[in-house]
Structure 1
Amino acid sequence: MFEKNLHIISCSINNERTLLAVSFCQYTEEERATQLLQSVSKYLTLLIEIHPINNVRVLKAVDSCVRVQFLYPVEGRNTSRESRLLLVSEDKYIEQFDIHVVAEEEHKVVIQKSGQLPRAKVVDDLVWAQWDMMEQRLFYIVPKESKSTLRCVQFYPEENFSSILESHLDIAVNDTQLKLVNFGYDSCQDQDVASKSLNLQVFTSKAGGLCMCCSLVSDIPHEIIYSIYFLHKGYNKTFTVSLERAESHKLKEVAFMNLDYYVAAYLPGQFLHLLNIQHPDMLCYSLFLTGEDARIDMLQNCSIRSPWVSAVLDCNAGSLYHVSISDSALLQLLQKSKRDCERLAALHCALLYFEHTEDLEMQIIRWISENLSTCHSFDPIQEFIIASLYCRMCLETQNLDKLLPYTSLHDWIGAVPGVICATDIISLPVLEFQNSKGFWEKLNSNLESVKYAEPRLHYHSKVLRREWRNLSEEREERRTTAYLRNIFENAKKVLSHLDTWDSEARLVPLFEEEDYQQQLLMGLMVAQLKDHLMRHLQYVGKKKIDQIVLDYVANLLNLVHRIMKEVWRRYQLHSCIFCFDERGSAAEFAVFHIMSRILEAANGMCMPLPPGFHTLHLGLGVRCLPLHTLLHYIDNGILQLTETCVRKLLKDLDDTEQNEKLKFSIVMRLPEALGQKVRQYWNHPINANLIARKYVKLLLEKLGNRQVCIHMKNKTM
């Protein structure tokens, strides 16, 4: 220590810990006035050699405040003979110093004494700047005509830097004083600047998201306004929040936190708004919390900043915290929420933010089974399946997240209580780079997808549904065509990709049986999803796309089976439920209801179900429903007659009057092809009479057709 009682403005140490840069205030205004030191510069910036001590060089002696920041272009570089230092001046410019050092005996390092240090101007005339220490990026804003311009400089390991991004902004930035973010914290200056400029910060995400967050001034008391510019999507959202318990003396500016997949807008004691960066188009995927739900105990009534992803700095106490979303708290919120918007946002966050674990899936499935009738604006089964598939598959291949659906909703017209949102289209950023990797490559991919109408890139089942219906109606005529043979070959590949079900999984008696309709749907989904991906992922290769598609459909079937397994375990059903001589229990009826909702969800998304699902569903229906309700379900397509279940029903039930009525009603509703297979298992006069009547009817129809043909021939003669 060579000075005492210094007011340090900024300091930074180089990567090798051999050099220290420090900027400090030599005299206050009062000291100048009393000691007549007007000729002495107020601020001094020094470069100090640590080994040996006290070799000092003056970099700046000025009356304007200076911040210092060493660059760390390569992590763990210990043998470099050159360090680079950024100097950020209150006079609105940033320059870079190149510092060459020489190693002496006993590991001492000294600066080369060759005159002035080489330096280069990085940016001039800026009004706001933010340093990204993890990725070595400098974001800054310069006023340009009527609009401001956001730019970014990327610093590279090869000792150079380049401007890489430019985005025009429609916000007015106060240019009376420079505002700096992540260049250290000076309480006196920062509080003074904060009162005169925008609270603005830029966040990036691993998936190529680029957001600019800023709080705006409202003319209405107790109203908070802030905007999130989703630059990678081409629009911004401005939120107006009316505070429930407004206490003006406690109100502070909104703090923004970077959680990678989410950006959080936080006003202590008032609200916590988690905004989805990847899918910000619908508000139902952003979670708005108030009251105790929005409380962050360690960050109450303090000034905070987010210097990098998942980190928060308490500026008053100087404490750095790691911040993340709690999965247990999120599940509690999911269970107690009364609004659909909160339920959907919490469910979406739980499925896409956290790594999939069996315990998390089990708790979500349990919540779904208990809340099937409470969610009105979305289907929780559909959301669980689609979001889970999206999360599992999109990690495999780049850009797959832009092609697979991430939600079961096409739009959402609801509102978040207490929040007004306005959306505006903004111009996309311009990237100036060649062959950049990592974040910049992903950002460029996001921008390209926006240019080419992103919503149309996501796979949709509309065409699949139409083709499935057409083939189902024409199955007898086209069954032997090469096209259909290829479809069923696809289905066989999917079934071969299914996980081997262990003894516990076989707790659910799903039969691996022939199911023409479901295999047709499986094969069609494979074919159409493959065509969709081939149009946009040609560079991946056909073999890889084939694997992705088969995994996608197989995972879909496994997810349905996972739901069934958890429901089966919860209601403690045994596997031998196909005994039709007794009525079903309350637990079986509950499972039947859940299976009906799974079927409804599958029909809504036109997705296939595991082999044997309809057999199990029909078996539970026979045990649980009164006859008139059972027949109503069959007539309306909720229950589908399968060969396995009908054959067992005809063979196992004795011919009491009630059972005869049940069997006759079922047999009368059988499709002709299925009826010819299973009627032989019911040796009863009613069945024999029915077979005879159908046979006579068939003969009459053939005779009638023959007479028509003879009549037509006579007429032509």
Structure 2
Amino acid sequence: MVTVDNIASKLCSILLSEQPEVNAQEWRLLGQEQNGLLLLSWVQSDNLTTTHIGTYCYEQNTLDTVYTFQKPTTVIQASINANKTVLGYVIKEYEDPAVVTSYTYKPVIVNIEDIDKPIVYDLNIVKPKQIMIQFLYRKQSLLNENHSDKFLVLIHEECVLHYQIQADAFEVKTVDTLVRAFLWAQWDPLHQTLYYIHYKKTTRALVEDEEELKKNHENKSSPTLSGLQFHDDLPHETVLNIPLNLPHLSSISTSCDVYEDDTVPLRIHNCSLDLMVLTESEGFICVCHHYLYQPVQPATNLEENDSTPVHFAYSVTVLHQSCVIHCVIPGIPWNQAKTIRICTQLLDVGILHEPTCHITIPVDLLDFKIEQIMFVPVLKMGNAKVLNMTNLEIIDLTVTSQQLIQIFKSDTTIENKLSILHYFLVHHHDTDAINEILTCQINTLLFTGLPQLMREYLIGSSYSTVRRNLPSDASQLINLLPITTQPTGCDTEIKVNNNFISLSQDALWNASMMLLSPQQRLVPYRADIWTKLWDHLIKTVKLKQKFKPSQVVEKLLVSLVCYQPEALSRSSTPLSPGGSLGGGNAINEFSAMSQCTRKSQIDALPFYEIESCTASKQEHIISVNLRELSMHLLKQSTENRISRFQWQSQTPMHVHAVATRYVSAQLEQSRYLCHILCKGIGFDPKYDQEKGFAFIDHLSTEKKYVFFSVLERYYLAVESIAFPLPQGFTSFFTFLGYRTLRFNTFLQYVQRNVFELQVDVMKVIMMDTDDTKSGIERKLKLLTMLPRSRLKRLLSQWSHPISLMIRAREHSLNILSGVEGQNPRLHGLQKNRNYQLGLAAFPSEDRLSPLDTFLDLLTAKANLTEIDFGLLIEATVTSTDDFL
């Protein structure tokens, strides 16, 4: 947040340059027009004390005096026509200056075509109720045409009058009464729209008489926010009707004692109702509502300086997203709460995603004092968005990256951290900031919020990558991709300055019914803010079915049960043009160095990115993601295309392009997140020359534990949203767990399928474990958890009697069960010496030893060439030895 300019100081400089002897003070903002002109009044002291009204152009930095009062006059609001020939202003006259509640409002029209001889036209309206005046503007192309100026006079709780000034003569006449008995109103100069709140009567009950109806007036009518759209040469039309829930709103007959004269934006104030409508030309409309204060504990009367704590609450109706955001700030003293009229919170209400990622910023981090803040939206002030009414400072309402990083580090609320991370991922694309905030959380959120941050990174970064690289003709499908992990409608609690702020979100029911449809307009399908809003609402309804990672997670729960790395062959995916995603059979880890040197040292990982199985789990997850996403996109685009919401032609090729890019982004961002975490823990490819298992063995005990704790959370985050892991991670993570955890704990991880015992890991574990009794038991426990093909492969390399016996039993089992294999390779015993079947092993008098009987049984089941007699005999001989 940066102060761009101070208008008051610039205005004083302009006046001093023209009249050095003039002393200007008491600057007051009277309004702002559609073209960006600000109307201001000031008191000027020289020989006489006079009040002046002028127009200020920010772009040209010019101040033009348009009217002068020859005595001090309290002008509270003003408006000027597009040609700057007619001025309207409202005077607030106090009957007794000592009594602030005794005053009247008086609107006046002045012809200032000749500034030296202004013509004053009194509208003959003097009311104790608030009055505002506003000229209607036409398009720039129509300004030079001979037309009549039109303006509105808004009288609180009475009416809105429509006036017209004759073009040939300065004559003012009333056209009609637009609105009657309204509670609150606001003028939108940019879109020439009048918003107002009034009571809309419901259907009268037949059983009630007039007296009963009057008693239940408030129950039989509901407050409604309506929008009245004005046009250049067409009648006005009501384009919006929103029913409001205002249970504490006063009755229509109750008058306000004190008015707040809000001129930017121009509003008619209600003492029990504080609303502001914010609009943007792309069809974004937000209704900000500050509620009445309610004591935390029941209280009868609240005095002026009472410090009784009260609830301060507000809501933001994000109409284009069809939702309402609620906020409650408890425990504010009454004497402070009654002075709060603007509560500042940054809400991401763009159409790109649902507004679930709230960023709450403590005021003390923005270099502002609370009593000095009163922000109002302004038009055409460069990059500025708001004006601080207390000192006329134009503020660029931009929070810097460093401020957000500071908030991220100091805030303990995970929801706020997720929102800040989401902002950097989707909106700001600041890689350095993302790396910094993730790295700083490795220690502070080690056991709580780190997996959530990782999931948000993976989802948000994948979406952002696809959006930047998506073909323009497939842009409609981007709305079906997941964008954040934060759910819609959840309640969150954020701690700010020792106060807990409660945030919640509710969906609007059938929001499109509150709006005039394009075909119902005076000019059907007229392109303006309302047709764009209609399109947003239809998209919100039709595009709610975003793709959910849980769809893939559910599929993988079934398909991974059948996943057999050694049995499956590699398949072809869009990520593998050559027909595979990487290496073939199991490769020794050290032979892969030449492949890994091609990887950039900037984002290098502490392991070799290869897989030691025929078909990697990564490829399986990628293929399931691709299939499920493609089907989802195709289904949703087809349904929306045949509905009333017309899509661009989204062909299967568009679906294929989006799905392929998204799955590719999943793999890319999963790998890069692993790089960020490893680098944050301490891995530096510039200095750490060793990788893989050797890297783990050279880590200290504490460092191994940190690595494992972080990578475990990374693994869980990736698995929970069905993202692919980098190649080589599985073996590295398993071996890291083997070196870090106790064996029983390590075994539990294996049983829960967290660790995958691939060949390269098992080779190291088998060599690392001594052939003691406990060591053999450990080996056997791990071997029994392996698939049969991997088990046979490892047993053949384990030169131990137990291995011999297991292989012999496996061989016998296959023969007896009728599983006939290929001709076996000759066992060493068969190659080196001749032997007699059975007799050479266990001779006996009847020559019917148990081995003879068993071999006879085998020969009856299979051919002699299919039986590995050497293996069976050697295993039998070994079983008689005491090898443990």
In structure 2, the residue matched to 1:63 is: 126
Conserved? CA contact 2:318–2:349, under 8 Å: no
**More helix, by proportion:** 1
> Which region of structure 1 is more displaced relative to structure 2, 386-395 or 69-78?
69-78
**2: CA distance, partners of 1:132 / 1:399:** 34
Q: CA deviation at 1:432?
A: 0.6
In structure 2, the residue matched to 1:504 is: 602
Q: What is the count of residue pairs matched by the alignment?
A: 654
In structure 1, the residue matched to 2:485 is: 407
* Corresponding residue to 2:676 among 547, 559, 566: 566
* Corresponding residue to 1:532 among 618, 632, 646: 632
Report matched runs for 1:153-164 at 5 Å: 153-155=228-230, 161-164=236-239
Does 2:522 match 1:458?
no
SS in 2 for 1:317: coil
Q: In the TM superposition, what whole-angstrom CA distance separates every residue of 1:110-137 from its partner, at most 9, and x where no partner exists? A: x644866896765444331112334443
**2: CA distance, partners of 1:624 / 1:75:** 73
Does 2:406 match 1:332?
yes
Conserved? CA contact 2:581–2:619, under 8 Å: no
* Corresponding residue to 2:730 among 614, 619, 643: 614
Q: CA deviation at 1:391?
A: 5.2
- The letter for the 2-side match of 1:572 is F
Q: CA deviation at 1:366?
A: 0.8
* Corresponding residue to 1:152 among 227, 236, 247: 227
Which blocks of at least 5 consecutive residues in structure 2 are unaligned?
1-66, 98-103, 202-220, 300-307, 519-524, 583-597, 639-646, 822-856, 862-884
Does 2:681 match 1:593?
no
Conserved? CA contact 1:596–1:638, under 8 Å: no
Q: In the TM superposition, what whole-angstrom CA distance separates every residue of 1:678-715 from its partner, at most 9, and x where no partner exists? A: 6666677765655444333322332799x9xx99xxxx
**1: CA distance, partners of 2:599 / 2:179:** 62
Q: In the TM superposition, what whole-angstrom CA distance separates every residue of 1:455-509 from its partner, at most 9, and x where no partner exists? A: xx233344433332333344579x999xx96xx53564799999x9634223444
Change (3 A) 1:610 1:262: same
In structure 1, the residue matched to 2:690 is: 576
* Corresponding residue to 1:323 among 382, 397, 404: 397
Report matched runs for 1:543-692 at 5 Å: 543-570=653-680, 571-573=682-684, 574=688, 576-580=690-694, 582-585=697-700, 586-625=702-741, 627-643=743-759, 645-646=761-762, 669-675=785-791, 690-692=806-808
**2: CA distance, partners of 1:140 / 1:702:** 87
Change (3 A) 1:230 1:44: closer
Q: CA deviation at 1:77?
A: 8.9
Q: In the TM superposition, what whole-angstrom CA distance separates every residue of 1:563-600 from its partner, at most 9, and x where no partner exists? A: 22222323034363234594533434422322211111
Change (3 A) 1:204 1:681: farther
* Corresponding residue to 1:44 among 108, 111, 114: 108
Conserved? CA contact 1:230–1:236, under 8 Å: yes
Q: CA deviation at 1:355?
A: 0.9
Conserved? CA contact 1:464–1:525, under 8 Å: yes
Larger radius of gyration: 2
* Corresponding residue to 1:431 among 515, 529, 533: 515
Change (3 A) 1:76 1:350: farther
* Corresponding residue to 1:133 among 189, 210, 216: 189
Change (3 A) 1:696 1:411: farther
Q: In the TM superposition, what whole-angstrom CA distance separates every residue of 1:56-112 from its partner, at most 9, and x where no partner exists? A: 474834324653444566589986766865423326444566779xxxxxxxxxx64
- The letter for the 2-side match of 1:230 is T
SS in 2 for 1:559: helix
* Corresponding residue to 1:216 among 286, 292, 316: 292
**2: CA distance, partners of 1:536 / 1:355:** 29
Change (3 A) 1:42 1:356: closer
Q: CA deviation at 1:198?
A: 1.1
> Which region of structure 1 is more displaced relative to structure 2, 327-336 or 421-430?
421-430
Does 2:456 match 1:383?
yes
In structure 1, the residue matched to 2:302 is: none
**1: CA distance, partners of 2:87 / 2:434:** 51
SS in 2 for 1:216: coil
In structure 1, the residue matched to 2:818 is: 702
* Corresponding residue to 1:444 among 512, 534, 540: 534
* Corresponding residue to 1:4 among 55, 70, 73: 70
- The letter for the 2-side match of 1:49 is E
Q: In the TM superposition, what whole-angstrom CA distance separates every residue of 1:343-382 from its partner, at most 9, and x where no partner exists? A: 4555555555x41211111022213422443426973322
Change (3 A) 1:27 1:703: closer
Conserved? CA contact 1:311–1:322, under 8 Å: yes
**2: CA distance, partners of 1:602 / 1:418:** 32
**1: CA distance, partners of 2:705 / 2:105:** 85
**2: CA distance, partners of 1:390 / 1:597:** 22
Q: In the TM superposition, what whole-angstrom CA distance separates every residue of 1:138-158 from its partner, at most 9, and x where no partner exists? A: 322122221111111345677
In structure 1, the residue matched to 2:273 is: 198
Identity %: 16
TM-score (normalised: structure 1): 0.74
> Which region of structure 1 is more displaced relative to structure 2, 212-221 or 595-604?
212-221
Change (3 A) 1:619 1:278: same
Change (3 A) 1:544 1:297: same
**2: CA distance, partners of 1:654 / 1:373:** 30
Change (3 A) 1:173 1:212: farther
Conserved? CA contact 1:131–1:183, under 8 Å: no
- The letter for the 2-side match of 1:313 is L
Conserved? CA contact 1:140–1:151, under 8 Å: yes
- The letter for the 2-side match of 1:88 is V
Report matched runs for 1:76-91 at 5 Å: 85-90=150-155
**1: CA distance, partners of 2:226 / 2:630:** 40
Q: In the TM superposition, what whole-angstrom CA distance separates every residue of 1:300-338 from its partner, at most 9, and x where no partner exists? A: 255543457973433343333232344333322322334
RMSD of aligned C-alpha atoms? 4.9
Report matched runs for 1:233-382 at 5 Å: 236=324, 239-243=327-331, 246=333, 248=335, 251-257=338-344, 259=346, 261=348, 278-279=354-355, 286=358, 293=364, 297-301=368-372, 303-307=374-378, 311-344=385-418, 346-348=420-422, 351=425, 354-375=427-448, 379-382=452-455
Conserved? CA contact 2:347–2:359, under 8 Å: no
Change (3 A) 1:2 1:589: closer
**1: CA distance, partners of 2:581 / 2:153:** 59
Conserved? CA contact 2:463–2:483, under 8 Å: yes
- The letter for the 1-side match of 2:244 is L
Conserved? CA contact 1:227–1:239, under 8 Å: yes
Conserved? CA contact 1:19–1:49, under 8 Å: yes
> Which region of structure 1 is more displaced relative to structure 2, 293-302 or 604-613?
293-302
**1: CA distance, partners of 2:479 / 2:455:** 18
Change (3 A) 1:25 1:403: same
- The letter for the 1-side match of 2:195 is F
**2: CA distance, partners of 1:77 / 1:216:** 44
Which blocks of at least 5 consecutive residues in structure 1 are unaligned?
32-39, 101-110, 264-275, 712-717
Change (3 A) 1:355 1:561: same
SS in 1 for 2:429: coil
**1: CA distance, partners of 2:489 / 2:90:** 55
**2: CA distance, partners of 1:412 / 1:241:** 17
Change (3 A) 1:382 1:425: closer
**2: CA distance, partners of 1:497 / 1:115:** 82
Q: CA deviation at 1:525?
A: 1.4
Conserved? CA contact 1:82–1:99, under 8 Å: no
**1: CA distance, partners of 2:138 / 2:665:** 42
Change (3 A) 1:240 1:202: same
